[in-house]
Structure 1
Amino acid sequence: MADEKDDPVAIRIDKKLKAISPISSNCCIFKVPNYLRKVNEKAYEPEVVAIGPYHHGKHHLKPMEEHKFRFLRMLLNEMKQDVTNYVMVMRGLEDRARKCYAEQIGLDTNDFVEMMLIDACFIIQLIRKFAMTTVMDDPFFKIGGFHNLLCRDLLLVENQFPLFILWKLFGMIEIPNPDIFRYITMNFFAIILPGKGCNRDSLKSIMEIKHLLGLVNDCWQPSESEMVAYRKKTKPIEWSFMHCATELQEDGIRFEKADGSSIFDIKFENGTMKIPKLKIDDHTECFFRNVIAFEQFFPGRSLNHVTDYMNFMDCLINSSKDVELLRRRGIIKNWLGNDEVVATMFNRLGDSVSISRYSFYSEVFSNVNRYCSKQWNKWIANLKHNYFNSPWALVSVLAAVLLLLLTMVQTIFSVLSYVK
C-alpha cells in the first residue's frame, strides 16, 4: 500500500493551498461580484482608461497609455527632474500597494512599479491641470464629453488606485495640504455628480481614505446639519415601504424642489415632500452603481447614504408617470429625454443590493406613511382629485355647499319662529 503522504489528491490540494495568496486586512479594491455585475455589466467596465491592474493591458484602452506617458513627461519637465527619483519612491510603496487589491496581480515587480508611477502621475496631473484650467488645452479634452468619460472611468470600483500613492506623489509636487487636495479633486469630479454635495468639516483623515471613489463618497454627503440631526436620534427607526409619487399625490402629498446644500437632504413637512434637484444623464446609472457597490463592500460603515438614497427614490418611482410628476416639479432634470428609461434605471439599481433595516430616510418614510393613513387627509385628497380638477366640478361643489348653507339658515329661522 502506498504511503498516505503520496496520495495524488492530497498532493494536488496541498499545492493549491500553498499557491493561495493571503488577503491582507488592508485590502480595499475589489472586483465587482457577479450577482451585482450581471444586472448591468457595462456599468463596471472602463471605456477609455485603465487605472490599476484589473483592466491593465486591455486592447480598447491602449490608446490612453501613450497619453499617460505624455503626462509624465509634462510633469518631469515642469519639475526639472528625471524619472529615477519617482521610480524609487514607487518601489518603496509596491508591497503596501499590492496588499490593497483583493485579486491576485499577475504583473512582476518592474511592470507593477511602472504601472503605479504612470497611473498615479496621470491622475495627479489631470486634477492639477484641471484646477489650473491648462488641461483644457489638451486635444483629448476638446473631444465632446471626454471629461465626463474620464470621470466615469476613474470612479469605477475596479478602476481604483490606492490613495496613499496619489497623496505621496502630490506631496512631491505641491505643498501637501489635504484640504487643497480634496478641493481640487472634488472640483474635477463635480461634472459627473448628479446633484449637490457638501464638503463637511468632519471628514476623514486623508490617510483613512482608500481611493478616489472613497474620497468622493466621503465628500459627497448629506449636509452637516442633517448628519447632526441623524446622529442625535436615540432610537433608530426601521424603514418601511411607501407609495410611489403619483399615489402619494392622490393621498394629498405635495412635491417641491428643495434648494438644499446636498442632494440627500430630503424632508417631509406639513404634507409637502421637499426633494433637491437630481440631474440624470448618460453616466448617472454607472456612477450610482459603482458608489453603491463600494458601500456594499464595507457593510460596517455608519452610513450608506447613497444606497439609502437609491432605495428611497426606488420607492418613489414605479413608472414613467412618477418620473413625469417629479420632472414637472423641477426635482428631476432628465437629460436622457425618456421618463420610462429613468424609471427603469431606479427600479433596477437596487437589484441584488443589500439594504440596511435602518435607513437615513427612515423618519421620512414613517412620517409619510402616518400622514397617508389619516382618514381626513385621504378625504381632502379625494375631494381635490374628484371635484377640483375642473371648473364645472368646482361650481357643482360650491352650489351644493351654498344650498346646504341656505337650508341650514332656513331651518334655524323656522326653529326661531316656532320658539316665538
Structure 2
Amino acid sequence: MFLAFGILAAAYEPEVIAIGPYHRDKDNLKMMEDHKLRYLHLLLQRKNDNIEKYVSAIGPLEPQARKCYAENINLSPADFIEMLVLDGCFVIELVRKSNLPHLREKNDPIFHMDWIMNSLQRDLMLFENQNSVLCSIQSRSWSSHEIKHLVDLIRRDWLSSFEYREKGWRFINCAAWLKEANVKFARYDNVTLFNIRFENGTIFLAPLTVEDRTDSLFRNLIAYEQYFQDTKFSLVTDYVKFLDCLIDSSRDVQILCRCGVIDNWLGDDEAVANMFNKLSDSVTGPGSSFVYAEIFDSINEHCNKRRNRWMAKLRRNYLNSPWLLFPLLLLLYWFYSQ
C-alpha cells in the first residue's frame, strides 16, 4: 500500500472499519462486518428491494473501480462487487442515520457508543480506506465521473468556495511575532475551516478543535492531495502550511487558544505545536498557486509599515524584559518632563 510504512503508519490505519480492499481481512476490523450486513438488510427492507438490483448496477463498474486502487486486488469479480455493494450501502445508511436521528434504530450500538462513531468518522477519511464507486451518483455541480471517492467529494466541496490565482508570495512569521507587530487574531464563525481572511490588522480564522485524531485526519488529506496532483491547488496542504507558519512554539498556541481559534483537547500546548511542525515536515513547500498567497502579502505589507516594525522591535527588545523596560520608562519620563 502507498502509506503502509514508517513510524507514522498508525495515522493511516483504520481503527474499527475497513472500506475497500486494503484492510478488509484484518482481525481487529471484523466486528463492523456484521454491522455492514445489518445496515444492508435495513436498506433493502426500507426500499423493498433485493440485493440483485444493486449487484447489477455495480457490476458494469467493476473493471474501472478495480483500476482505481494502486495495487493488484486479489479478489474475484463477484467478491469485489460484493465488497463494493456492502461497503457503499453501509456508508450511505450511516450518513442517512447521522443526519436524521429519528431514523436510527432504538438500540443501534453505533450511535449508542460515542467511541464507535468517533472512530468511524476518522476511518472514513483515511486515504487508503475508500470505496471507489461510492460517488458514482450525480452530485451538485461536478460530473460524477470526476469524483474518485468520499474524501474527494468532501475536498471538492471545500474547494468550491476558493478561487485559483497564481502569483508570487513570501512566508509570514509566527503568531507571537505577528502579535508584537500589532497583528490581532480573531475567531471566524460560520465558515468552513479553510476560510481565512485578513482585515484591518486582524487575521480571522475558523475555530479548529485539536484532538487525538486531528493528526491522522490532516495526514490522510495531505497524502491524497500529494498522490493526485491533478488539481490547481492543494487546499488542506496549504492550510497546514499556514498554521505551521503561525505556530512555532507553545507560546503561539497559547495566543491562538486565547482568542478562540484553537480548542486544545490535547491539553498540552507544546504537543499542538509539535503536531503542526511535524505535519509540515511531511509536505513540500507550496508553489505559486498557494491558496493564501494574497493573505500572506497583506499580512507582510501590514507588518512592514514603519509604525508596526517599530512596535515589534520595541516589544521584542524592551517590553519583554523588566530590566530594559525600567530605564526606557525613565528616559520617557525625563523627555516629557522637560
What TM-score does the superposition give when structure 1 sets the normalisation length? 0.72
1:28 is aligned to: none
Q: 1:280-359 to 2 correspondence within 5 Å?
A: 280-358=210-288, 359=290
Q: CA RMSD of the aligned region, Å?
A: 2.7
For the 8 Å contact 1:136–1:142, the answer to whether it is kept is no
Residue type of the alignment partner of 1:144: D
For the 8 Å contact 1:239–1:361, the answer to whether it is kept is no
2:35 is aligned to: 67
Q: 1:20-419 to 2 correspondence within 5 Å?
A: 31-33=1-3, 38=6, 40-133=8-101, 134-135=103-104, 137=106, 138-163=108-133, 165=134, 167=136, 178-179=139-140, 203-221=141-159, 224=161, 227=162, 230-231=163-164, 233=165, 236-259=166-189, 261-358=191-288, 359-383=290-314, 386=318, 397=329, 404-405=335-336, 407=338
* % identical aligned pairs: 41
Residue type of the alignment partner of 1:216: I
The separation in 2 between residues aligned to 1:84 and 1:368, in whole angstroms, is 59
Instruction: Decide whether aligned partners of structure 1 residues 131 and 274 sit closer, same or farther in structure 2, where only a CA change above 3 A counts.
Output: closer
The separation in 1 between residues aligned to 2:235 and 2:11, in whole angstroms, is 20
The separation in 2 between residues aligned to 1:306 and 1:278, in whole angstroms, is 13
The offset of 1:150, in angstroms, is 0.7
The separation in 1 between residues aligned to 2:151 and 2:64, in whole angstroms, is 19
Instruction: Decide whether aligned partners of structure 1 residues 363 and 382 sit closer, same or farther in structure 2, where only a CA change above 3 A counts.
Output: same
- Count residues in correspondence: 332
The offset of 1:305, in angstroms, is 1.0
**Which stretch shifts more, 262-271 or 114-123?**
262-271
Instruction: Decide whether aligned partners of structure 1 residues 65 and 406 sit closer, same or farther in structure 2, where only a CA change above 3 A counts.
Output: closer
For the 8 Å contact 1:238–1:362, the answer to whether it is kept is yes
Instruction: Decide whether aligned partners of structure 1 residues 388 and 53 sit closer, same or farther in structure 2, where only a CA change above 3 A counts.
Output: closer
Larger RCO: 1 or 2 (CA < 8 Å, sep 6+): 2
For the 8 Å contact 2:135–2:147, the answer to whether it is kept is no
For the 8 Å contact 1:296–1:354, the answer to whether it is kept is no
Residue type of the alignment partner of 2:100: M
The offset of 1:373, in angstroms, is 3.9
The separation in 1 between residues aligned to 2:116 and 2:63, in whole angstroms, is 33
Give every structure 1 segment of 4 or more consecutive aligned residues whose post-TM-superposition deviation is greater than 6 Å: 393-396
Instruction: Decide whether aligned partners of structure 1 residues 293 and 403 sit closer, same or farther in structure 2, where only a CA change above 3 A counts.
Output: same
**1:217 aligned counterpart, secondary structure:** helix
The offset of 1:88, in angstroms, is 2.6
1:4 is aligned to: none
The separation in 1 between residues aligned to 2:77 and 2:139, in whole angstroms, is 30
The offset of 1:155, in angstroms, is 1.3
The offset of 1:90, in angstroms, is 2.8
For the 8 Å contact 2:198–2:299, the answer to whether it is kept is yes
**1:333 aligned counterpart, secondary structure:** strand
**1:146 aligned counterpart, secondary structure:** helix
For the 8 Å contact 1:388–1:394, the answer to whether it is kept is no
Alignment deviations for residues 377-404 of structure 1 (CA, whole Å, 9 cap, x no partner): 23223445645999xx69984x865654
Runs of 5+ in structure 2 lacking a partner? none
**1:145 aligned counterpart, secondary structure:** helix
The offset of 1:69, in angstroms, is 0.9
Runs of 5+ in structure 1 lacking a partner? 1-30, 169-176, 180-202, 408-420
The separation in 2 between residues aligned to 1:374 and 1:132, in whole angstroms, is 52
**1:220 aligned counterpart, secondary structure:** helix
The offset of 1:211, in angstroms, is 0.4
Larger radius of gyration: 1
The separation in 2 between residues aligned to 1:245 and 1:365, in whole angstroms, is 13
The offset of 1:120, in angstroms, is 1.4
**2:2 aligned counterpart, secondary structure:** coil
Instruction: Decide whether aligned partners of structure 1 residues 266 and 88 sit closer, same or farther in structure 2, where only a CA change above 3 A counts.
Output: closer
